[in-house]
Amino acid sequence: MGIDTPLYVILGAGVVGLTTALELKTRFPASEVIVVAKHLPGDRSVEYTSPWAGANWLSMATDNGVQEEWDAVTFKKFERLSRQSPECGIRRMDIRAIFDSPIENAGILSQGTGKIWYEKLVGGLCEVPTHELPQGSNFGYDLSTFMINVQSYLPWLQVQVLKAGIDLRRAKFDDINRLFESFPTAKAFFNCTGLGSYSLKGVEDHNVYPTKVHHQLLSLLSHMTLGGPTILYYYRRLYPETDTYVFDIQGQILLVETPSKPLEKMYFRSPKRVASDTTYVFPRFPHGGVVLGGCRLDGVWDGNIDLDFAEDIKRRCCALCPDLGKPEDLKVLYHAVGLRPSRKGGPRIEKQFYGNRMVVHNYGAAGAGYQASWGMAKYAVDLIIQTSHL
């Protein structure tokens, strides 16, 4: 690269960092882009959320604003990818979504309009007939959306990054100023560190929820090598009286073998769109196994797998999707726990100047890091275009 070639550095190689890198390189093909991260696709760590996701597109945005826009941009991108690059692991698939709360309390209606904003985008919602609703549920709908096999998609993103001539480097930075020193000629930096933004000096986002949390969650944080003790330190200083958390929500999942007749549909059941006792069945079509979830905030758990809870997940999933068979017959391939990087006020996508160094933050995607990824990346890159820095 020539001396005048603009250099952009992205910290983080989860779905958010890799997508941001691709968006940047597509918009500025003549620029040099470097992605630096402690974890890269292929790694498995509780500090690295992206490998643990289910995943699918089922928007949880209701802001009647940018978050809905991010999901819409990503839905359209997934549509193209599933047609043009089916090897990427994204596949069009129906989902049946069941809610136990009445619709007005289910967290799915857009602010202002009182409607489900994506009805037209997905090609319509089909109400589940009353006689097909499971006991205790209130309503449900079927829709056509996307299944994301993250085991394929994350490495695929990495390959696209390398094919685009983006440099991938493995490194850990405890302080954002060290990043600036390492790349003195960079025009801008993108902070896509997910959970790492807690403890990354110079960022240290303490935008915590003053919300009741279970002590087991805090004990999990204290066990984390990246930032756990730091988080606890600040949390205790900020909220000495209140239990508080930022890492919402822990998700425990199982991957089980594909049944002899592969499932062709995903299933979701929850009191609300975002809740602590969600049940979901995401087949990684056709033979990549089936992800069974869900989450919880209560009970006895720490960073380790809770096998009793895994049994509960199996039972709930088989009840929701009888084609899975009996819970005792499921062949478990592995159990996993992941932490969704949530943030009070929603994801942070904004630019910040450190002297003459510009950083665009792009983190805090919570449970939507895949389904919002392309929209978030576009929004983040737009921020540098709106700057005279270029």
Give the annotated binding-site residues for D-dopa.
280, 340, 367
CB of residue 372 to ligand FAD, shortest distance in Å: 6
Q: Is 269 in the site for ligand FAD (CB under 6 A)?
A: no
Residue ranges of the binding site? 49-50, 193, 280, 340, 367
From 11-19, 105-113, 264-272, 297-305, give the range in contact with ligand FAD by CB under 6 A: 11-19
Residue nearer to ligand FAD on the CB measure, 89 or 194: 194
192 near ligand FAD, judged by CB under 6 A: yes
Would you give the end-to-end CA distance of the chain in angstroms?
17
Cite the beta strand spans of 86-134 per DSSP E: 90-99, 126-127
What part of residues 294-323 is at the interface with ligand FAD (CB under 6 A)?
none
How far is the C-alpha of 333 from the C-alpha of 292, rounded, in Å? 11
- Residue 200 CB, shortest distance to ligand FAD, in Å, is 5
Measured from the CB of residue 286, what is the shortest distance to ligand FAD in angstroms?
19
Helix, strand, coil percent content, the chain, rounded in steps of 5: 30, 25, 45
Q: Does 375 participate in binding ligand FAD (rule CB under 6 A)? A: no
**230 binds ligand FAD per the rule CB under 6 A:** no
Q: In this chain, which stretch among 53-61, 119-127, 211-219, 300-308 interacts with ligand FAD, using CB under 6 A?
A: 53-61
Segment near ligand FAD (CB under 6 A), from 121-129, 231-239, 268-276, 368-376?
368-376
Q: Which residues pair with 301 in a beta bridge?
A: none
Per CB under 6 A, which region of 187-195, 210-218, 268-276, 300-308 contacts ligand FAD? 187-195
Q: Does 359 bind ligand FAD (CB under 6 A)?
A: no
Question: What is d(CA 198, CA 278) in angstroms, rounded to the nearest whole number?
Answer: 26
List the one residue from 8, 9, 10, 13 that touches ligand FAD (CB under 6 A): 13
Taking the C-alpha atoms of residue 162 and residue 290, their distance in angstroms, rounded to an integer, is 29
283 binds ligand FAD (CB under 6 A): no
Could you tell me which residues are beta bridge partners of residue 168?
Answer: 35
φ, ψ for residue 215, nearest 5 deg: -60, -25
- Angle, helix 215-223 to helix 228-238, in steps of 10 degrees: 140
Q: Which residue has the tokens 């009182």?
A: 114
What amino acid occupies position 381?
Answer: V
Are the C-beta atoms of residues 244 and 211 closer than 8 Å to each other? yes
Amino acid identity at 216: Q
Residue located via tokens 């100023």: 177
- 45 or 239: CB nearest ligand FAD: 45
The yes or no reply on residue 357 touching ligand FAD (CB under 6 A) is no
Neighbours of 307 (CB within 10 A): 11
* Site track for ligand FAD across 124-163, x = CB under 6 A: ----------------------------------------
Site for ligand FAD contains 195 (CB under 6 A): yes
Q: Pick out the residues of the known binding site for FAD.
A: 49-50, 193
Task: Count other C-beta atoms under 10 Å from residue 237's C-beta.
Answer: 9
* Span from 15-23, 264-272, 297-305, 309-317 in contact with ligand FAD (CB under 6 A): 15-23
Q: What are phi and psi of 314, to 5 degrees?
A: -60, -45
Nearer to ligand FAD, 10 or 128 (CB): 10
Instruction: Look at residue 260 and give its three-state secondary structure.
Output: coil
Compute how many residues bind ligand FAD; rule: CB under 6 A.
Answer: 40
Which residue has tokens 């096999």? Answer: 149
Burial of 244 (0-12, 13-18, 19+ CB in 10 A): buried
Q: Residue 69 CB, nearest distance to ligand FAD (Å)?
A: 15
Q: Confirm or reject binding of residue 341 to ligand FAD (CB under 6 A).
A: yes
Alpha-carbon distance of 252 to 235, in angstroms, equals 24
Alpha helices in the chain (DSSP H): 15-27, 66-84, 150-163, 176-182, 215-223, 228-238, 307-320, 373-385
Binding flag, residue 251, ligand FAD (CB under 6 A)? yes
Choices 21-29, 188-196, 208-216, 265-273; region in contact with ligand FAD by CB under 6 A: 188-196
CB 359 within 8 A of CB 352: yes
Under rule CB under 6 A, residue 17 binds ligand FAD: yes
Binding site for ligand FAD (CB under 6 A): 11-17, 37-39, 48-50, 52-56, 172-173, 192-196, 200, 251, 253, 293, 338, 340-341, 363, 365-371
